[in-house]
Chains A and B, each alone.
Chain A
Amino acid sequence: MLRMKDVSKTFSPGTPDAKLALDHLNLDVHEGDFISIIGANGAGKSTLFNAICGTFLVDSGSILLDGRNVTMIPEHTRARQIGRLFQDPMRGTAPDMSIEENLALAAGMGGWLSRVSSHDKKTFRDKLALLDMHLEDRMKQPVGLLSGGQRQALTLLMATYHVPKLLLLDEHTAALDPATAEKVLDMTRSIVEENHITCLMITHNMQSALDLGNRTLMMHQGHIIYDVTGDERKHLTVRDLTDKFRQISGKALDNDRMLLGVG
């Protein structure tokens, strides 16, 4: 499904600030995997996602998506197969445009000069109704008026409007209040399961990293230091994960949010 071979990326190379964000990283993601990714700040989790999306080109190595080498393919072209949600609910939608217009862009419709038809509108309405946030009655309102949770739910709908091969979730519930976060996470789970989307999710919540999905990766200094799945994963506890981290990286997890299992 997704194969990353020997992928490296250095930021500000050749300066005192040079940072090796991805260090000869190898990753094989199988069709239907739901992988949670944990790691301290600066471990390279978001950089990994940026590399997959093509936000920048990697320095070396190759990225294969569904058998096709996408290493040099520009971000907007890769976006046809990849859906992505960010921590910031503002990033996935255009605030000055209405819900309907945002959905129209995600839907892609026909040619450049095609317009939203009444049939499109009905489809949008039906899809919005699934979110159970009464957004279907506010289609003409600008997205800027929506709450963070509503915007993130809308972004989720847009990112999965055409079922992507790969869905990347970058702490997409971290900026929401606990109740809304729970709701958006449930929504994510049901959309992913229903459409059998292969999914990678970065989270700071160790408990949900273990609860969700079938595989967990731990990252440290641009490496994947721990990759667990199957029976071994079933019996893991948060305490095991932190111990594992100390054992492999040689130091304690310095992130309180992770230890406390919040966020």
Chain B
Amino acid sequence: MSFDKILALGQTALELGLVNALTVLALFLSYTMLNVCDLSTDGCFTLGAAVGAVVAMAGYPLLSLPAAMLAGMLSGFVTALLQTRMGIQSLLAGIVVNTALYSVNMAITGNKAQLNMNKTETVFTFAKTFLKDTPLSGQSKLIVEMIAVILVVLFLCFFLSTKLGLAIRATGSNADMVRSSSINPVFTTTVGLCISNAFTALSGCLMAQQQKSFDINLGNGMVTVALASLLIGGVFFGKTRNVPLRAVGAVIGAFLFRVVYALALRLDMPAFMLKAVSSIIVVLAISGPYLRTQIPTWLRAWRASREGGRV
């Protein structure tokens, strides 16, 4: 592989990784901090893409970002409402919202499964025009994404050290204790899911605009991909309890996931294997520590049964 190719590969991995990093950061908030596995992530990612695409195509590229985030926030609010006020289990609430979002997304795009944004002005083309004649003009994609990721990381670092952020973390750790601190865990769960879904939607919005196309299946499997990235990132800074470091770890995880994936494609892995690979990573990362304690027990039981047979 030539140096140019490696560079191009790294660049693509970085671009896709940074967009995905926003979803990974969203899960960092909901999954790692709030301890809620938000299965509406797939639909919310597509929701952000749909809203962003429609608003950008209407001629408001800059407005598309806050619009997508607002839509994501609404979606997160509904998921939170279902699980905190209507007695639906957390996982089921996410799945139900995810299913409904398919219809919502189709309604937003006007019953179109694909939208073409080749001639649409997006935040990326906007940045390109803005950076014209500067040395950075070729890297407008990276710059837009980098700014978004840095802002989100900074926001999370600040937010998670505020009283509200601490309360959200405590809700994931011990909801009883939150209640006895006179804070309603219903409130903290709702705020946490609204914010995390806003980031997921932002991620989807940037993904569609970067690819210059929207597809109704854009978000499929996103929750597993993001979870895999999050767990890969946890390998680096998982041991530390320092929140900023762990947030950076999540971003690195998203990038590494893309690098591994790009390398696998180079080695002739068919592209459709992406989702199987991410599933396997999630399974290994979560069940690994469990198996490590269980396998010696199994071995012992097996040996004991063999010896027992001989006596």
Binding site for B on A (CB under 8 A): 74-77, 79-80, 83-84, 90-98, 101-102, 104-106, 108-116, 142, 158-159
Contact = CB atoms under 8 A, between A and B. Distances in A.
A91 B184 CA distance: 16
B258 interface: no
B134 interface: no
B163 A111 contact: yes
Given A74-B184, A80-B182, A108-B182, A93 B177 contact: yes
Given A76-B184, A96-B169, A97-B173, A105 B162 contact: no
B161 A115 contact: yes
A74 to B, nearest CB: 7
B180 interface: yes
Nearest to A82: B180
Contacts of B177: 91-94, 102, 105
A96 B180 CA distance: 17
Contacts of B162: 112-115
A108 B83 CA distance: 26
Helix, strand, loop or mixed for chain B's interface?
A: helix
B174 A114 contact: no
Nearest to A90: B174
Contacts, number: 80
A97 B33 CA distance: 10
Interface in B165-195: 166-167, 169-170, 172-174, 176-185
Q: Give the interface centre of B162, B164, B185 by most chain A CB atoms within 10 Å.
A: B162
A110 B182 CA distance: 13
Nearest to A101: B166
Among A83, A97, A110, find the residue whose CB has the most chain B CB atoms closer than 10 A. Answer: A97
Listed residue (A94, A101, A115) with the most chain B CB atoms within 10 angstroms of its CB: A94
B5 interface: no
B224 to A, nearest CB: 24
B181 A106 contact: yes
Interface residues of B, number: 22
Contacts of A92: 176-177, 180
Contacts of A116: 161
11 contacts: A91-B174, A92-B177, A94-B178, A96-B169, A96-B241, A97-B170, A105-B163, A105-B167, A111-B163, A112-B163, A113-B164
Contacts of A76: 178-180, 182-185
B35 to A, nearest CB: 9
A96 B173 CA distance: 6
Nearest to B161: A115
A93 to B, nearest CB: 6
A123 to B, nearest CB: 15
Nearest to B172: A96
A106 B179 CA distance: 10
B163 A110 contact: yes
A158 B178 CA distance: 12
A118 to B, nearest CB: 14
Contacts of A98: 241
B187 to A, nearest CB: 9
A80 B181 CA distance: 7
A114 B181 contact: no
A108 to B, nearest CB: 7
A159 B182 CA distance: 11
Given A104-B166, A112-B163, A93 B174 contact: yes
A94 B170 contact: yes
A75 B170 contact: no
B170 A105 contact: yes
Contacts of B179: 75-76, 79
A112 to B, nearest CB: 4
Given A95-B173, A105-B178, A115-B163, 11 more contacts: A74-B184, A76-B178, A80-B182, A92-B180, A94-B177, A96-B173, A101-B169, A104-B163, A105-B167, A105-B183, A108-B182
Among B161, B180, B185, the one with the most A-chain Cβ atoms within 10 Å of its Cβ is B180
Contacts of A112: 162-164
Interface string B209-228: 00000000000000000000
A96 B182 CA distance: 19
A106 B163 CA distance: 10
A116 B166 CA distance: 10
B174 A94 contact: yes
B182 to A, nearest CB: 5
B176 A91 contact: yes
A79 to B, nearest CB: 5
Contacts of A115: 161-163
A116 B163 CA distance: 8
A101 B162 CA distance: 10
B267 to A, nearest CB: 39
A142 B181 contact: no
Contacts of A114: 162-163
A91 B163 CA distance: 20
Nearest to A105: B181
Contact of B163 (A94, A96, A97, A113): A113
Given A91-B177, A92-B177, A97 B166 contact: yes
A184 B94 CA distance: 44
Given A94-B174, A95-B174, A115-B161, A84 B180 contact: yes
